[in-house]
Structure 1
Amino acid sequence: MSATRLLVLGVVRGYGRAHGYLVGNDLLSWGADEWANVKWGSIYHALKQLTKEGCLRDDLVPPGRTDYELTDKGEAEYLRLLRDSLRRPELRPDMLGAGLAMLPSLTRDEAVGLFKQRLEELEAKRDSAQELGRSWERPPHVKELYGLWEHSAASGAEWTRGMIERLEGGAYPMMGEPGSPGPAGSWHEPLPE
């Protein structure tokens, strides 16, 4: 999965209609260049690729700016990527970071359900790595790899349990709740510089 793809779709979705500079400016102001390796070139590449795939519709606005809007296919792809980013633990943290950045696009109940799926998978990975470490014999140093996997999965499970608890306790305004970022197209474009 691509964190850049998820983030670009999410920002365009949030505004309803956005140009490349607005998308990039938002993502870079969030620090996505650090936690998701998002760069200007990857943003524009994603916009062009998503348009080619029919996930975005482009519109040339004089004097030469291109605005983008999400299509129905783009909405489905956005929600697929968002849901997968929250329920599927990956070795790279960029997809989870992208999913967390777009978390309020989901209802509280759906987000909790996705994190519960993530927790189950992390606990299974922890148990599997623990068993592999116990049974491993040669070469002996490879056992450290299983210890690392066990530790990573256990700490991920601990964080996920906390996230579920925070969401169930009412943390963060989610889709349909007062103070949430709102439905698609409800973000407001920042004032011109």
Structure 2
Amino acid sequence: MSTTRLLLLGVVRIFQPAYGYQLRRELMTWNVQAWANINPGSIYTGLRTLAKHGYLLELEQDGAHRPGRTSYKLTTDGETEYFSLLRGMLWTVDGFHPDKMQAALAFMWSLRRDEVVDALEARISQLEAWLKSGPYSERQIREDPGTPNHVVEMFRITTARDRGELEWTRQFHERVRAGDYAFAGEPADWEPYPGMVTHWGEIPDPPANQR
């Protein structure tokens, strides 16, 4: 649910104000139905739910409230929630929900470089600690007569994923430190097609607190 919320708030923030069908079409190009387990038909419902909770402002065309013809923009609360979710997913490793880091990568550019560097260092520390404690957890599983022997392989596959993520995080951390990619307040390192992004690399002003 938190991944879906970040994706919806983030894509609205990029295109705002934008119609529901435009947001749905964009998210489908990200293949979110595969890695974030988002049903394409639920995107309109998610947008309306975020508007109901005050995170999005609905702008109806000619007073018509139709899924594809209502445009959205972030409210002040929506901007706050966006950054709260983004930072939570970036700073905290959740090995059982890799979709959270995948979503954070999609919007990491809206943070400043120094914060991203520190967050990646925090992730490295978390992963190193988990891997260091791994042998002891495995020993406990193997020595417990009430635990089936195959359970240790369930633990090992999780450890293998953590080890792979640690290797990638170290390499990504070095690339970011070396100046790769563009972050908030820096010149864009790519050229969006016309009409796609209007504030890439900028730190936008807080939105008006409209509901």
TM normalised by structure 2 equals 0.80
Structure 2: distance between partners of 1:50 and 1:183? 25
Q: Which amino acid aligns with 2:160?
A: H
Q: Which amino acid aligns with 1:178?
A: P
Bigger Cα Rg = 2
* Matching of residue 118 in structure 1 with residue 127 in structure 2: no
Structure 1: distance between partners of 2:203 and 2:50? 17
Kindly report which structure 2 residues correspond to 1:139-158, keeping only aligned pairs within 5 A, or say none. 139=147, 140-158=149-167
Unaligned stretches of 5+ residues in structure 2: 190-199, 206-211
Q: 1:129 touches 1:149 (CA, 8 Å); kept in 2? A: no
Q: 2:185 touches 2:203 (CA, 8 Å); kept in 1? A: no
RMSD: 2.0
* Matching of residue 101 in structure 1 with residue 99 in structure 2: no
Q: 1:54 touches 1:73 (CA, 8 Å); kept in 2? A: yes
TM normalised by structure 1 equals 0.87
Which has the larger helix fraction? Answer: 1
Kindly report which structure 2 residues correspond to 1:50-69, keeping only aligned pairs within 5 A, or say none. 50-62=50-62, 64=64, 65-69=69-73
Residue 185 of structure 1 and its aligned partner are, at CA, apart by: 6.7
Identity across matched positions, percent: 40
Report what 2:202 is aligned to: 183
* Matching of residue 171 in structure 1 with residue 180 in structure 2: yes
Q: 1:130 touches 1:146 (CA, 8 Å); kept in 2? A: no
Report what 1:128 is aligned to: 133
Deviations 1:102-141, CA, capped at 9 Å, x for gaps = 1111111111111112222122222222221134313333
Query: Residues 129 and 42 of structure 1: is their aligned pair in 2 closer, same or farther, counting only changes over 3 Å?
Result: farther
Residue 150 of structure 1 and its aligned partner are, at CA, apart by: 2.0
Alignment counterpart, residue 161 of structure 1, candidates 158, 170, 185: 170
Deviations 1:12-69, CA, capped at 9 Å, x for gaps = 1112311111111111112222221223222112111111111111111127321111
Unaligned stretches of 5+ residues in structure 1: 187-193
Q: Which runs of 4+ in 1 moved over 6 A?
A: none
